[in-house]
Amino acid sequence: MEFLIEYGMFLAKFLTVALIMLFAIGAIIFIVLRAKGDGEHLNIKNINEKYETMSFMLNSQVLGKKEFKKHLKKQKQDHKEKDKAVSDERKKIYVLDFKGDIKASTVSSLREEITAILTIADKKDEIVVILESGGGTVHGYGLGASQLKRIRDKEVILTVAVDKVAASGGYMMACVADKIIAAPFAIIGSIGVLAQIPNFHKLLKKMDIDFEQITAGDYKRTLTMFGENTDEDREKFKEELEDTHHLFKEFVKDNREQVDIHKIATGEHWYGKRALELNLVDELITSDDYLSSAANDADIFEIKYERKKPVTEKLISFGANILDAIDGR
């Protein structure tokens, strides 16, 4: 019996010490992780080096030994001449990649990237935004356009490259640029406003379900999903859409004076070639060709703001991607 009591006391002491040690280790890990921050950082990639590496790998396989040696000798000479030139005098191009969803959620990363670049960018430098978006919420893309406007305000050259689509809110952002380049079959335009909402009033009435909605102010709520919508409600809602469209047209005209706003603000979209004829874009060229051509005279850097997502956010994002795939979007 005494043995069991002593063993029990020993076990209790051991567990107490073990718990204290685990707590201490946990506290240290927490402090270290907190000191590291929340996983936010800028990922910077030298595009010139990327091109050189690709060229080296391809030439090493394609060229014969003598030709490859000649190529390396020439490349070495080119590097010497480049090193002789004052690096500060070379133009720098900063490349940002913006893929917009309906909420323009990547604007939060864009604002951080722009803030970082503007701390060092010179007036001779250029920022190229490779933009891909079919539009979304007015306030989301309005903020995105305002972020790009910061670049113009600092008198840094801004070029927007559209390889696939810049429509509606996407074009709202693109039109801020000094220059818009687009692939020949990129979708451009859609300068209009769309709103749609289902109404279940008849269904609820059929099922004998009442819906109560109390508001203060004549137009606190115009159209509703569950209540009965009147002609007055619809008229007011349309009035709000027209006002938003008017603001959209004004914004495009202010930033691209060369467009015939009445001709292009119909909600239609055009492919790159037609968009060029309508002055919606300035040049037909892909972002790849534009950057590779500029690489001889400029140092090109791809800037990407990255934040480690929590596990819950990753799961939600994964689920959203599956739903998008099912919907065929």
The residue among 66 and 116 whose pLDDT is bigger is 116
- pLDDT value of residue 329: 44
In CATH terms, the superfamily for domain 40-45+91-190+268-327 is 2-enoyl-CoA Hydratase; Chain A, domain 1 (3.90.226.10)
Q: Is a pLDDT exceeding 90 seen at residue 108?
A: yes
Answer yes or no: is pLDDT of 113 > 60. Answer: yes
Q: How confident is the model at residue 267 (pLDDT cuts 50, 70, 90)?
A: very high
Q: What is the pLDDT of residues 52-81, one digit of tens each?
A: 888 778 777 777 777 877 767 777 776 666
Active-site residues, by number, are: 168, 220
pLDDT at 35: 47
Q: Taking residues 171-185, what's their average pLDDT?
A: 97
Domain ranges of the chain: 40-45+91-190+268-327, 194-259
3-state secondary structure the chain: CHHHHHHHHHHHHHHHHHHHHHHHHHHHHHHHHHHCCCCEEEEEEEHHHHHHHHHHHHHHHHCCHHHHHHHHHHHHHHHHHHHHCCHHHCEEEEEEEEECCCCCCCHHHHHHHHHHHHCCCCCCCEEEEEEEECCCCHHHHHHHHHHHHHHHHCCCEEEEEECCEEECHHHHHHCCCCEEEECCCCEEECCCCCCCCCCCHHHHHHCCCCCCCCCCCCCCCCCCCCCCCCHHHHHHHHHHHHHHHHHHHHHHHHHCCCCCHHHHCCCCEEEHHHHHHCCCCCEECCHHHHHHHHCCCEEEEEEEEEECCCHHHHHHHHHHHHHHHHHCC
